[in-house]
Amino acid sequence: MRFTVLFSFLCLTLILGCNKKISTSASTSTSETANNGVTKIVAFNEVASLAPGETARVEKTKAAVTFLDVASDSRCPRNVNCITEGEAFVMVSVGGGAPQKVRIDVGLKRISRLGMEGATVEFLSLNPYPEAGVKIDPADRRLGVRIIKSSKM
């Protein structure tokens, strides 16, 4: 009887101890996952090409942009006649904030911009450009961005 009580107490202690460790390691891996991308240090007005998960950051400032994913791409493929040029939408995080959806237009007629403390991010391009019948590997995507310094910094 004494052995059963001791064994039960030992099992209960191990279960409770393991529970605590699991929750601690889960929160640690979440923060590591969020920061596992590559960070490129850029200068203001420099054009950066970002792969999914990469961040462009201006050194010694809070000015940063992270390319998260391509939400959709309906741009008219090369050598195909379309009624409209189409557009692409990407998911980005600016200044470490929440993910936002940004429109990428064909050409530089309209440039999408997002502001943050001390800077503005311009979204210039999404490459490669679609071609008829060719599937684009998500890892091959590149987002062209430029961080411009605001007058108040």
Per-residue pLDDT of the chain (153 residues; tens, 9 = 90+): 554 544 454 444 444 444 333 333 332 222 223 345 799 999 999 999 999 999 999 998 989 999 999 999 999 998 899 998 889 999 999 999 999 999 998 766 788 999 998 899 999 999 999 999 899 999 999 999 999 998 754
Residues 62 and 110 in one domain: yes
Residues 45 and 31 in one domain: no
Residues 144 and 101 in one domain: yes
Residues 120 and 49 in one domain: yes
Six token digits for residue 92? 């980005």
At 26 the pLDDT is: 31
Residues 32 and 44 in one domain: no
Residues 32 and 79 in one domain: no
At 74 the pLDDT is: 92
**HSE-up of residue 143 (Cα within 13 Å, Cβ side):** 34
**HSE-up of residue 17 (Cα within 13 Å, Cβ side):** 6
Residues 65 and 136 in one domain: yes
Residues 17 and 85 in one domain: no
Cβ–Cβ under 8 Å, residues 126 and 111: no
Residues 72 and 140 in one domain: yes
At 70 the pLDDT is: 96
Residues 112 and 140 in one domain: yes
Residues 68 and 11 in one domain: no
Number of domains in the chain: 2
Residues 67 and 9 in one domain: no
| Residue 20 domain boundaries | 1-36
- Across the beta sheet with 47-50, the strand order is 47-50, 142-149, 119-127, 112-116
